[in-house]
Structure 1
Amino acid sequence: MSQIDLNDVARLLAVTEAGGFRAAAQRRTDSASALSEAVRRLEEALGARLLNRTTRSVALTEAGARLVDRARPALAELAAALDAVSGDSGRPTGTLRLNVPTFVARHVLPPIATAFLKRHPGVRMDVTAQDSFIDVLAEGCDAGIRYEERLALDMIATPIGPRRQRFVLAAAPSYIAERGAPAHPNDLLRHARIGHRFLGSKALAIWEFERDGEIIRVPPEGPLTASTFEMQIAAAVAGLGIIGHFGEALAADLATGALVPVLDDWWQEFSGPMLYYQSRRHMPAPLRAFVDFVRAEGRTASD
């Protein structure tokens, strides 16, 4: 077997994660042709086809899938070791890869990430927004952000962003004028409900209410279900139905009166998001810096 260039293995991973050569090239400094040549070299060195190529997509062969499954965590560990060494100078350098829910990517992480990157100019942050729960290490990420009920038990968790949040229901004044306001969560079954589908998943976000020991779950079935917040909020403002969402996502429209509260005596509070990561003897320098930054910000916010 010919000598293997680990950079070519990394390029193969980039192509499979992006779903094609052109998409991978947009995320890297390599051109699509350079990525294709790297995969060809790797196949030639291994004596096995790794990708089935069509004009529109690429798919791993059985041999390619085996290689990717073994190589992804190995390369992640190698990157962590290099980052640990590079961080010995006291100024962390390298890439911090995070997997976060779409809501967190829009409403929680931006100010935290901006402040962190200004403080640590040697660090690059690569954020993937995805609502389904994944094995962050297997996907080549350093850490993830999720809510408490979806955290893996063997992970370390640190609060990030708001400590408490609320699930808020709202509708346009025009909708309330036409259909009336529900007085109880069970009344929602007679109303148009705008639903949220988790990005990267087929799961629908069920509305849940609890008061005085009574738990009521309502499926948000109605004229629109979407994974994009913009479509849901625009539909609600236009009077298409009642929307249920994180309070932060609806705050601006509630403040202007474009939306009005619905069933606010049933709104539920819940714990805010958590930064989670696996305990390692040699934590990558960018991750260590980010964890320390988040903890420091949390202590300042609680003072």
Structure 2
Amino acid sequence: MDPTQLPALVAFASVARHGSFTRAAAEGGVSASALSQTIRALEAQLNVRLFNRTTRRVALTEAGGQFLERVRPALSMLEAAYESLDETRGEPTGTLRVNLPRIASDLLVMPHLAEFAQRYPRVVVELTLDDGLTDLIAEGFDAGIRLGERLARDMVAVPLSGPLRIAVAGSLAYFSRYPKPKTPDDLIRHDCLRYRFSTSRGIYRWEFAESGAGGGTSRRVFEVEPNGSFVTNDLRTMVTAAEQGVGLLHVIEDFIRPQLADGRLVRVLDDWALTFDGFSLYMPSRTQMPSKLRVFVDFLKEKVRLRRDPVHG
């Protein structure tokens, strides 16, 4: 290999990760035209087309995909080698790329981001909000946060929170027009706020646990297809709509705890509320975790523990 090709290989991996010359150029601090020329020069040296380009998208060719699979491990080793130099000085550094849904960002990360930045000023945190189950390695992420997902091969999980509970809630204005539902079957006569997944485009089906079984973990879980006049892919927008009396909301209890506490929203169907495993951070299994990721995991676990056990706060 010609050592002078290394910057071009880094540029190639960045374009593949972003699927865009513009976004990759912004990350690298160069112009899109300069980056495009770098990639064209690399393709000429390799005598193979790496990307198919159209006016709307950039995608790897079959040869480009195969080349990336071989190049990525070497680039990761080089990045880890540079980071290890900072580890010897006891200071985590580098860009930490995390893929997570908005609800995990709002509940686990954003309330503590300023403190993390103060503790670790040389770690750049890049959050990508995504409700799908992303291939971390293929997309260049260091870690992901999800709710009880089935992990892909070569992934390990670190629990970040205890069990979570679902809440169905509406405003007093809504209940002035509709009677409170007594069972999930009653929802057929209610206006339910519906959530559309950005990745799959499907509508989230509301989940419940069978009532009258003592609240144990063996309660039968079933789904209800919600009906309603409002659909969104954003939970904050959905909560605002519920506060305005547009419809009923089905969401993790912690996400609307302030609204429940001050009466903006009122819970219903509490006996049917589903409890499930909480958030986990998942990442590629490695013999040695990069320090930027290790301090991030330890920091989040600390914050979750303090929230659940205020005696330590």
Shorter-chain-normalised TM-score: which range? 0.7 to 0.9
The whole-number CA distance in structure 2 between the counterparts of 1:14 and 1:287 is 20
Amino acid paired to 1:109? V
For this pair of structures, how many residues does the alignment match?
302
Aligned to 1:257: 263
Deviation at 1:2, TM superposition (A): 6.4
Residue 232 of structure 1 corresponds to 238
Structure 2 match to 1:223: 229
Distance 1:169 1:187 in 2: 13
What does residue range 1-303 of structure 1 map to in structure 2 within 5 Å?
5-152=5-152, 154-160=154-160, 162-210=161-209, 211=211, 212=213, 213-297=219-303, 302=309, 303=312
| Contact kept? 2:191, 2:228, Cα under 8 Å | yes
Q: Measured at CA, do residues 152 and 3 of structure 1 come closer, stay the same or move farther in structure 2, by a change above 3 Å? A: closer
Q: Deviations over 1:185-227 (max 9, x none)?
A: 1111222211222332334322111131343311223222221
Q: What SS is found at the alignment partner of 1:179?
A: coil
| Other structure's SS at 1:150 match | coil
Structure-2 change in CA distance of 1:295 and 1:57 (3 Å): closer
Q: Deviations over 1:106-159 (max 9, x none)?
A: 222113433222111121112211121123223211221112243447533323
Cα pair distance change 1:229/1:298, threshold 3 Å: closer
How high is the sequence identity, in percent, across the aligned residues? 39
Q: Is the 8 A contact 1:136 1:144 kept in 2?
A: yes
Question: Following TM superposition, by how much is the alpha carbon of 1:42 offset from its aligned partner in structure 2, in angstroms?
Answer: 1.2
CA drift of 1:296 comes to 4.3
Distance in structure 2 (CA, Å) of the matches to 1:155 and 1:58: 28
CA contact (8 A) 2:156 2:285 kept: yes
Q: Distance in 2 between matches of 1:106 and 1:28?
A: 28
Instruction: Please list every run of 5 or more consecutive structure 1 residues that lacks an aligned counterpart in the other structure.
Output: none
Say if 1:27 and 1:228 are closer, same or farther in 2 by CA, change over 3 A: farther
- Whether the aligned pair in 2 keeps the contact of 1:51 and 1:61 (CA below 8 Å) is yes
Q: Distance in 1 between matches of 2:229 and 2:71?
A: 45
Given the superposition, is the C-alpha separation of residues 296 and 256 from structure 1 closer, same or farther in structure 2, using an over 3 Å criterion? closer
RMSD over aligned CA atoms reads 2.5
Structure 2 length as normaliser, TM-score?
Answer: 0.85
Q: Which amino acid aligns with 2:27?
A: R
Q: Is the 8 A contact 1:80 1:282 kept in 2?
A: no
Residue-by-residue CA offset, 1:12-55 (whole Å, 9 max, x unaligned): 23223333222333333122122111111111111122222233
SS of structure 1 residue aligned to 2:289: coil
- Asked whether the equivalents of residues 148 and 271 of structure 1 are also in contact (C-alpha less than 8 Å), the reply is yes
Measured in 2, the distance between the counterparts of 1:241 and 1:12 equals 48
| More displaced stretch, 197-206 vs 119-128 | 197-206
The gaps in structure 2 that reach 5 residues or longer are 214-218
SS at 2:85 equivalent:
helix
Amino acid at match of 1:188: L
TM superposition shift of 1:87? 1.0
